[in-house]
């Protein structure tokens, strides 16, 4: 890896290396509640809405006590709508409220409300795990990618995970745009943080330009 790439990666992680789970106040661990909260966040982030709004809505749902499948399913449709509204998630609030309720019930019925059982069912097959995630209402391919991108922090078999959105960010920064080549240049950088930082540059070309300018200034 050249000195230029090294500078870009260092500036990228320093300025943008924060997972969306952390931003949403989720202390991600391999336990049922934080994994479920990450799943909800992935559902919210996958809609065509600002990531900051999705994060705020995830926080609002948590503050309303809807932190696990049982409490989410037990809440009324209106209670979920109101919590989403407090987070500013109004464009898709009614449909999302239904999806969250249905998804919570599915998780309880099929996996006992514990996403680790879904992980066990996939048995290390990432394509299978992605397909299982997409059985959750409101979680399509993009949502599954978001969940896997973030959960690699605590599910080692997922890492390194660089999906299409991370590759878009890499291209903007002049970094390798293939998962294998990206994995080789991460070095000691945590893949989940690197991936989250790349996504932020993919979503905002101004952020990418600032990182490039900063890297040039420190070259």
What does the pLDDT read at residue 219? 59
Average pLDDT rounded to a whole number, residues 2-6:
74
Mean of per-residue pLDDT scores for the chain = 92
Q: Please tell me the pTM assigned to this model.
A: 0.93
> Is residue 159 within 8 Å of residue 192, measured between CB atoms?
yes
What does the pLDDT read at residue 218? 62
| Residue 170 phi, psi (nearest 5) | -60, -45
Model pLDDT for residues 110-142, shown as the tens digit of each residue: 999 999 999 999 999 999 999 999 999 999 999
> Is it the case that residue 1 has pLDDT exceeding 60?
no
pLDDT category at 215 given cuts 50, 70, 90 is low
N-term to C-term CA, the chain: 14
> Is it the case that residue 217 has pLDDT exceeding 80?
no
Model pLDDT for residues 13-35, shown as the tens digit of each residue: 888 889 999 999 999 999 999 99
Model pLDDT for residues 64-75, shown as the tens digit of each residue: 999 999 999 999
Average pLDDT rounded to a whole number, residues 132-157:
96
């Amino acid at each position: 890896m050249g000195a230029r790439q090294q500078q870009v990666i260092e500036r990228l992680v320093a300025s943008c290396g924060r997972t969306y789970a952390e931003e949403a106040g989720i202390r991600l661990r391999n336990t049922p509640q934080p994994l479920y909260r990450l799943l909800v966040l992935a559902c919210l982030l996958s809609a065509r809405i600002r990531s900051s709004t999705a994060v705020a809505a995830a926080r609002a749902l948590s503050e309303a006590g809807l932190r696990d499948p049982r409490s989410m399913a037990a809440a009324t449709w209106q209670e979920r709508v109101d919590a989403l509204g407090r987070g500013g998630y109004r464009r898709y609030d009614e449909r999302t409220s239904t999806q969250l309720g249905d998804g919570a019930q599915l998780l309880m019925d099929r996996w006992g409300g514990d996403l680790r059982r879904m992980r066990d069912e996939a048995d290390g097959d990432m394509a299978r795990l992605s397909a299982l995630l997409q059985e959750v209402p409101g979680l399509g391919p993009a949502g599954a990618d978001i969940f896997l991108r973030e959960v690699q922090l605590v599910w080692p078999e997922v890492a390194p995970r660089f999906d299409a959105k991370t590759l878009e960010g890499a291209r903007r920064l002049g970094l390798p745009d293939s998962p294998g080549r990206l994995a080789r240049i991460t070095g000691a950088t945590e893949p989940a943080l690197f991936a989250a930082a790349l996504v932020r540059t993919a979503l905002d070309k101004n952020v990418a330009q600032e990182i490039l300018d900063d890297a040039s200034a420190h070259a």
